[in-house]
Structure 1
Amino acid sequence: MHLPRILVAAPASGGGKTTVATGLMAALRASGRRVAPFKVGPDYIDPGYHSMASGRPGRNLDSVMCGDELMAPLLAHGFITPDPADIAVIEGVMGLFDGQLGTGRGSSAEIATTTKTPVVVVVDTAHASLTHAAVVSGLATFDPDVTVAGVILNRVASARHGAEVARGLDRLGIPVLGQIPRTESIFVPSRHLGLVPAAEWEDSAAKVAGLGDLIAEHVDLDAVMDLAAAAADLDVEPWDPMAALESVDWHAHSFDEPPLVGIFAGRAFTFRYPETTEMLTAAGFRVVDVDPLNDRRLPDGIRGLYLGGGFPEMHAADLETNSELAADVRRRAEAGMPIVAECAGLLYLCRHLDGHEMAGVLPMDAAMAKRLTMGYRVATRDSISVVGHEFHRTTTTLLSGLEPAWHITMPDGADRAEGALADPAGVGRPTIQASYLHLHWAGQPAQAAWFSREVARFHASRRGRDGEPDLNHHGDRDIADGLIDLAVNVRVAEPPQWLRDAVTSTEHEWARYPDATPARDALAVMHGVPTDMVLPTAGAAEAFPLIAALEPRRAVIVHPQFTEPEVALRGAGVSVNRYILKASDGFTLDPALVPDDADLVIIGNPTNPTGRLHPATDLTALRRPGRILVVDEAFMDATDESQSLIGGDMGDLLVLRSLTKTYGLAGIRAGYVVGDRRLIARLADHQTPWSVSTPAVAAMIACTSDEARRFRAQLRDDIPAARADLVERLTNLGLSVVDSEAPFVLVNTASLSGSSIRQPLADRGFAVRRGETFPGLGPTWIRLAVRDSNIHAGLAHAISDLTTHRN
Structure 2
Amino acid sequence: MVTMPRLVIAAATSSAGKTTVTTGLMAALTAQGHPVAPFKVGPDFIDPGYHALATGRAGRNLDPVLTSVEAIPALFRHGFLTPQPAELALIEGVMGLFDGRLGTAGEGSTAHIARLLSAPVLLVVDASGSSRTAAAVALGLRAFDPRITIAGVVVNRVASARHGAEIAREFDAAGLPVLGLVPRNAGVSAPSRHLGLVPADERRESAATIAAMADHLAAHVDLDAVRHLAATAATLPGEAWRPETVVPPVEGRPLVGVLAGRAFTFRYAETTELLLAAGCRVVEIDPLHDTALPADLAGLYAGGGFPELHTVELSRNAPLRAALAAAIGDGLPTVAECAGQLYLGEQLDGHPMVGALSATARMTPRLSLGYRSATAPSDTLLSRAGESVRGHEFHRTLTEPAAGSAPAWTWDGRAHGFSVGAEGRASVHSSYLHLHWAGVPQAAQRFAEAAAQFAGTGSRHARPTEPPPIERVEIPAARPDGIDLAHHGDRDLGPGLVDLAVNVLTSDPPPWLAEAIARLSPPLGRYPDVRPAREAIAARHGVDVSMVLPTSGGAEASTLIAHGLPLTNPMVVHPQFTEPEAALRAAGRAVQRWLLPVTAGAGTPDLGELPPWADALFVGNPTNPTGWLHRREALLAAGQGRLLVVDEAFMDATDEAESLIEPHMAGRLVLRSLSKTWGLAGLRVGYVVGDPALIAALERMQPPWSVSSPAIAAMIATASAEAVAEAAAVATTVRERRVRFVADLRAAGFGVPDSHAPFVLIDTASCGRESVRPALAAKGFAVRRGESFPGLGPTWIRVRVPDDWRAFVDALTSLRH
TM-score in terms of structure 1 length: 0.56
Matching of residue 118 in structure 1 with residue 114 in structure 2 = no
The aligned counterpart of 2:418 is 420
The aligned counterpart of 1:24 is 25
- 1:295-343 Cα distance to aligned partner (Å, 9 max, x none): 0011221110000000011101110001111111111111111000000
Q: Kindly indicate whether the alpha-carbon contact (under 8 Å) linking 1:346 and 1:435 is maintained by their aligned counterparts in 2.
A: yes
Matching of residue 438 in structure 1 with residue 440 in structure 2 = no
Matched ranges for 1:525-540 at <5 A: none
Separation of aligned partners in 2, 1:299 and 1:22: 36
The aligned counterpart of 1:132 is 134
Note closer, same or farther for the CA distance 1:420–1:377 as it changes in structure 2 (3 Å cut). same
- 1:742-765 Cα distance to aligned partner (Å, 9 max, x none): xxxxxxxxxxxxxxxxxxxxxxxx
Separation of aligned partners in 2, 1:205 and 1:17: 18
Separation of aligned partners in 2, 1:92 and 1:354: 34
Separation of aligned partners in 2, 1:420 and 1:221: 49
Among 393, 401, 406, which residue is 1:398 paired with? 401
- 1:500-522 Cα distance to aligned partner (Å, 9 max, x none): x9xx9xxxxxxxxxxxxxxxxxx
The aligned counterpart of 1:177 is 179
Deviation at 1:126, TM superposition (A): 1.4
Q: Which amino acid aligns with 1:68?
A: V
The aligned counterpart of 2:92 is 91
Matched ranges for 1:257-336 at <5 A: 258-336=253-331
Separation of aligned partners in 1, 2:294 and 2:153: 49
Q: Which amino acid aligns with 2:325?
A: R
- 1:211-232 Cα distance to aligned partner (Å, 9 max, x none): 0011111111111101111100
Separation of aligned partners in 2, 1:86 and 1:239: 19
Matched ranges for 1:594-605 at <5 A: none
The aligned counterpart of 1:80 is 81
Q: Kindly indicate whether the alpha-carbon contact (under 8 Å) linking 2:288 and 2:481 is maintained by their aligned counterparts in 1.
A: no
Q: Which amino acid aligns with 2:409?
A: W
Q: Kindly indicate whether the alpha-carbon contact (under 8 Å) linking 2:289 and 2:481 is maintained by their aligned counterparts in 1.
A: no
Q: Secondary structure at the match of 2:70?
A: helix
Q: Kindly indicate whether the alpha-carbon contact (under 8 Å) linking 1:123 and 1:132 is maintained by their aligned counterparts in 2.
A: yes
Structure 1 gap ranges (5+)? 246-250, 410-414, 464-474, 484-500, 505-694, 697-807
Deviation at 1:396, TM superposition (A): 0.9
Q: Secondary structure at the match of 2:217?
A: helix
Deviation at 1:476, TM superposition (A): 13
Note closer, same or farther for the CA distance 1:167–1:445 as it changes in structure 2 (3 Å cut). same
Matching of residue 3 in structure 1 with residue 1 in structure 2 = no
Deviation at 1:253, TM superposition (A): 2.4
Matching of residue 448 in structure 1 with residue 447 in structure 2 = no
Q: Kindly indicate whether the alpha-carbon contact (under 8 Å) linking 1:368 and 1:395 is maintained by their aligned counterparts in 2.
A: yes
Note closer, same or farther for the CA distance 1:399–1:136 as it changes in structure 2 (3 Å cut). same
The aligned counterpart of 1:632 is none
Q: Secondary structure at the match of 1:207?
A: helix
Matched ranges for 1:361-380 at <5 A: 361-380=356-375
Separation of aligned partners in 2, 1:10 and 1:476: 45
Matching of residue 46 in structure 1 with residue 47 in structure 2 = yes
Q: Kindly indicate whether the alpha-carbon contact (under 8 Å) linking 1:339 and 1:432 is maintained by their aligned counterparts in 2.
A: yes
Separation of aligned partners in 2, 1:25 and 1:153: 17
Matching of residue 457 in structure 1 with residue 457 in structure 2 = no
Q: Which moved more, 1:27-36 or 1:452-461?
A: 452-461
Q: Secondary structure at the match of 2:455?
A: helix
Matched ranges for 1:476-555 at <5 A: 478=477, 480-481=479-480
Matching of residue 66 in structure 1 with residue 62 in structure 2 = no
Among 152, 156, 159, which residue is 2:158 paired with? 156
Deviation at 1:186, TM superposition (A): 1.7
The aligned counterpart of 2:205 is 203
Separation of aligned partners in 1, 2:458 and 2:324: 16
Separation of aligned partners in 1, 2:370 and 2:250: 36
Deviation at 1:244, TM superposition (A): 2.1
Separation of aligned partners in 1, 2:110 and 2:310: 33
Separation of aligned partners in 2, 1:65 and 1:481: 38
Separation of aligned partners in 2, 1:162 and 1:98: 27
Note closer, same or farther for the CA distance 1:290–1:476 as it changes in structure 2 (3 Å cut). closer
Separation of aligned partners in 2, 1:416 and 1:209: 46
Separation of aligned partners in 1, 2:431 and 2:481: 36
Q: Secondary structure at the match of 1:431?
A: strand
Q: Kindly indicate whether the alpha-carbon contact (under 8 Å) linking 1:404 and 1:419 is maintained by their aligned counterparts in 2.
A: yes
Cα RMSD after superposing both structures: 2.4
Deviation at 1:462, TM superposition (A): 10
Separation of aligned partners in 1, 2:20 and 2:478: 40
Among 334, 341, 346, which residue is 1:339 paired with? 334
The aligned counterpart of 2:148 is 146
Q: Kindly indicate whether the alpha-carbon contact (under 8 Å) linking 2:363 and 2:398 is maintained by their aligned counterparts in 1.
A: yes
Matched ranges for 1:549-628 at <5 A: none
Deviation at 1:202, TM superposition (A): 1.4
Among 387, 390, 414, which residue is 1:384 paired with? 387
Matched ranges for 1:643-792 at <5 A: none
Among 214, 219, 222, which residue is 1:220 paired with? 222
Note closer, same or farther for the CA distance 1:477–1:266 as it changes in structure 2 (3 Å cut). closer
Note closer, same or farther for the CA distance 1:476–1:454 as it changes in structure 2 (3 Å cut). closer
Separation of aligned partners in 1, 2:477 and 2:222: 51
Separation of aligned partners in 2, 1:243 and 1:293: 36
Q: Kindly indicate whether the alpha-carbon contact (under 8 Å) linking 2:189 and 2:213 is maintained by their aligned counterparts in 1.
A: no
Q: Which amino acid aligns with 2:140?
A: G
Q: Kindly indicate whether the alpha-carbon contact (under 8 Å) linking 2:311 and 2:351 is maintained by their aligned counterparts in 1.
A: yes
Separation of aligned partners in 2, 1:479 and 1:271: 23
Separation of aligned partners in 2, 1:105 and 1:187: 29
Q: Kindly indicate whether the alpha-carbon contact (under 8 Å) linking 2:188 and 2:212 is maintained by their aligned counterparts in 1.
A: yes
Q: Secondary structure at the match of 1:300?
A: coil
Q: Which amino acid aligns with 2:416?
A: E
Q: Which amino acid aligns with 2:169?
A: R
Separation of aligned partners in 1, 2:200 and 2:475: 32
Deviation at 1:155, TM superposition (A): 0.9
Identical-residue share of aligned pairs (%) = 54
- 1:107-134 Cα distance to aligned partner (Å, 9 max, x none): 0000000111110000011122122222
- 1:37-96 Cα distance to aligned partner (Å, 9 max, x none): 100000111111111111111000011111111111111100000111011100000000
Note closer, same or farther for the CA distance 1:476–1:14 as it changes in structure 2 (3 Å cut). closer
Note closer, same or farther for the CA distance 1:482–1:101 as it changes in structure 2 (3 Å cut). closer
Note closer, same or farther for the CA distance 1:284–1:353 as it changes in structure 2 (3 Å cut). same
Separation of aligned partners in 2, 1:459 and 1:477: 22
The aligned counterpart of 1:722 is none
Q: Secondary structure at the match of 1:417?
A: strand
Deviation at 1:195, TM superposition (A): 1.3
Separation of aligned partners in 1, 2:298 and 2:354: 18
Deviation at 1:15, TM superposition (A): 0.9
Deviation at 1:184, TM superposition (A): 2.1
Deviation at 1:370, TM superposition (A): 1.8
Separation of aligned partners in 2, 1:183 and 1:478: 41
Structure 2 gap ranges (5+)? 377-384, 460-473, 483-494, 498-773, 776-817
Deviation at 1:478, TM superposition (A): 4.3
Separation of aligned partners in 2, 1:225 and 1:461: 50
Q: Kindly indicate whether the alpha-carbon contact (under 8 Å) linking 1:2 and 1:232 is maintained by their aligned counterparts in 2.
A: no
Q: Kindly indicate whether the alpha-carbon contact (under 8 Å) linking 1:20 and 1:215 is maintained by their aligned counterparts in 2.
A: yes
Q: Secondary structure at the match of 1:206?
A: helix
Q: Indicate the structure (1 or 2) with the bigger Cα radius of gyration.
A: 1
Q: Which amino acid aligns with 1:400?
A: A
Q: Kindly indicate whether the alpha-carbon contact (under 8 Å) linking 1:336 and 1:427 is maintained by their aligned counterparts in 2.
A: no
The aligned counterpart of 1:640 is none
The aligned counterpart of 1:167 is 169
Deviation at 1:482, TM superposition (A): 10
Deviation at 1:477, TM superposition (A): 6.6
Q: Which amino acid aligns with 1:191?
A: R
Among 251, 255, 272, which residue is 1:254 paired with? 251
